Amino acid sequence: MTQQRVRMQAERAEDGLGPTSDIGSRLRALYGAVQDEGVPDQLLDLLEKLDSAEQAQSDKSSNRGGE
């Protein structure tokens, strides 16, 4: 295992990449995959209901101020 670690460190030194470059690459790939996922329809429905409820509350508040 030690020889493998030395070999990996030598390869990284040749690449000019640090030990965290692999982690960074994997995180970027994961982030890209998450970005490509669509928003579930159920979440979109909930957001629309929230917008409607907020609008209704806003309308009630503005009607009370005008009376």
Give the per-residue SS3 of 9-56: HHHHHHHCCCCCHHHHHHHHHHHHHHHHCCCCHHHHHHHHHHHHHHHH
Domain ranges of the chain: 1-36, 39-67
Residue for token digits 């470059």?
21
Measured distance CA(48)–CA(46) in Å, rounded: 5
Contact yes or no for 12/19 (Cβ under 8 A): yes
pLDDT digits (tens, 9 = 90+) for 7-57: 777 666 666 666 677 888 899 999 999 999 998 999 999 999 999 999 999
DSSP H helix total and E strand total for the chain:
3, 0
Q: Which pTM was predicted?
A: 0.45
